Amino acid sequence: MNKLIILLLILNASCENENIKFLAELPKSLDEVSGTETTVNSDYIWMLNDGGNASKLYGVSAKGNIKEELKIDAKNNDWEDLTSDEEGNLYIGDFGNNDSKRKNLSILKVKKKALNDKGKIDVDRISFSYPNQKKFPPKNKNLYFDCEAFFYFNGNFYLFTKSRVEKDFGKTTLYKVPAKKGKHVAELLGTFNTCSDMDCWITSADISDDGKTVVLLSPKSVWTFTNFKGDDFFNGTSTEIPLNGRISQKESICFNNNNTLYITDEKAHGSEGNLYQFHLK
């Protein structure tokens, strides 16, 4: 390979990678970050780990340093994502469901005023079930009820499932759940397909503060949805943005502003365990 070809390859890779920037390596206590969120009236990036880890929320700086640790009075069955509302309340998505057999799916509300507490923090529980699941677990061909991605929007939560059906890993199903305490049956809104392999799993989601852009995260890409009406997100304009050409176990995404996002990956299975900044424009 001559020097000109090598130079062109380097320049091409540089152009592809310019939308994502390394910010920090996360500390060991955040090796399995599965949810990330920014809130109004807080300078921190709030993070949580998935199932098997402590029931804690972490307030983290953009340099990757832990500034706050909040103990939550609820079991971490399988915490998988984090979102917030316009008042600054945080919501923990306890709906990881690898085998599609859980019947205790819930979203935990951490009130804004509790973010300054030092003791164990009480939560409000919002429980839900899927309207189209009849067996726990279903047959392998129907393992569509795992979930790692959601966000709050206009008084409701929007959940995007993670398919565990072979050759259909890129299928995500969108459900709507009221953002109020109680037991709810989720409303099925639609489906979207990215691709068929595991690198297309949907692992996190968020919506911009202006409500105009939805993002879905997979190990290899960010999918954006724009020009939608109401909450008909999948019928908007969809765009896939490849991430760095390097696949890792990316587990969380959130908006910092309408054009800039934070992304993390787990420090597992060869992944980095880092905090990144990602620019849409």
- Quote the pLDDT of residue 248: 82
Asked if residue 231 has pLDDT above 80, the reply is yes
Contact 253, 206 (CB under 8 A): yes
Contact 264, 251 (CB under 8 A): yes
Grouping H, G, I as helix, E, B as strand and the rest as coil, residue 11 is: helix
- Quote the pLDDT of residue 269: 60
**Side-chain half-sphere CA neighbours of 4 within 13 A:** 0
pLDDT per residue as tens digits for the range 68-104: 999 999 999 999 999 999 999 999 999 999 999 999 9
How far apart are the C-alpha atoms of 99 and 96, rounded to whole Å?
A: 9
How far apart are the C-alpha atoms of 99 and 89, rounded to whole Å?
A: 30
pLDDT per residue as tens digits for the range 263-274: 999 986 656 799
- Quote the pLDDT of residue 18: 62
Which residue shows structure tokens 């899927």? Answer: 130
Give the pairing of strands 124-129 and 182-185.
Answer: parallel
> 104, 149, 151: which is closest to 126 by C-alpha?
104
pLDDT per residue as tens digits for the range 156-205: 999 999 999 999 999 999 999 999 999 999 999 999 999 888 889 999 99
- pTM for the model stands at 0.92
Q: What is the mean pLDDT of the chain?
A: 91
38-63 average pLDDT score: 95
- Quote the pLDDT of residue 281: 75
Q: Which amino acid is at 115?
A: L
> 123, 113, 115: which is closest to 92 by C-alpha?
123
Please count the other Cβ atoms lying within 10 Å of the Cβ belonging to residue 226.
14
* Most confident among 109-118, 238-247, 269-278 (mean pLDDT): 109-118
Evaluated on CA atoms 122, 55, 223, 164, the torsion sign reads: negative
221-225 average pLDDT score: 96
- Quote the pLDDT of residue 270: 58
135-157 average pLDDT score: 97
Residue 145 φ then ψ, to 5°: -115, 15
What domains sit in the chain, N to C, each tagged with a CATH number? 3-279 (2.120.10)
| Residue 118: pLDDT band with limits 50, 70, 90 | confident
Contact 61, 42 (CB under 8 A): no
Asked if residue 1 has pLDDT above 70, the reply is no
Asked if residue 13 has pLDDT above 60, the reply is no
| Residue 125: pLDDT band with limits 50, 70, 90 | very high
Local structure of residue 263 (DSSP, 8 states): E
